[in-house]
Amino acid sequence: MRGETLVYLCGAHSLGFAAFHLAFWKLFDWPAALRGTNLATRAVVQILNLRLIYVLLGVAALCFWLPHELVATRLGRALLAGMALFWAGRLAEQFVFLRYNVLPLHVLTALFALGAVLFALPLALGRVA
């Protein structure tokens, strides 16, 4: 598989997670669930989620509009490496903070691993080619 094709898959992965994070208010009933916290915690949780959505949408946009540049330039490869590390870190954090044995968390764990692999593969292919 070509590096640019993998970058499109990275974009789809990022777009999917942006959509998932948009659903957090309803999925986790944040209006009710966060009511029990203080104002600062409520604000920080929601602001961080919105900023993460923004970053994921930005990464998706770069993947869809500039796949060649992400594979072929030092800056693009640095972004791919940074996102591979982002997903690898999120995978590790899954085992630290969400140690539950339920299927939805196992699916998320697999998707975090997939993100790390997807963003790393174009880098590995570039070295071989």
Is the pLDDT score of 102 beyond 60? yes
| Rounded Cα–Cα distance for residues 121 and 81 (Å) | 10
pTM recorded for the entire structure:
0.93
pLDDT digits (tens, 9 = 90+) for 58-87: 999 999 999 999 999 999 999 999 999 999
Is the pLDDT score of 128 beyond 50? no
| Rounded Cα–Cα distance for residues 21 and 15 (Å) | 10
pLDDT score at 70 = 97
pLDDT, the chain, mean: 95
Q: What percent of the chain has pLDDT over 90?
A: 95
Is the pLDDT score of 114 beyond 70? yes
Q: Are 59 and 14 in contact (CB under 8 A)?
A: yes
Other C-beta atoms closer than 10 Å to the C-beta of 75 total 9
Q: Are 54 and 47 in contact (CB under 8 A)?
A: no
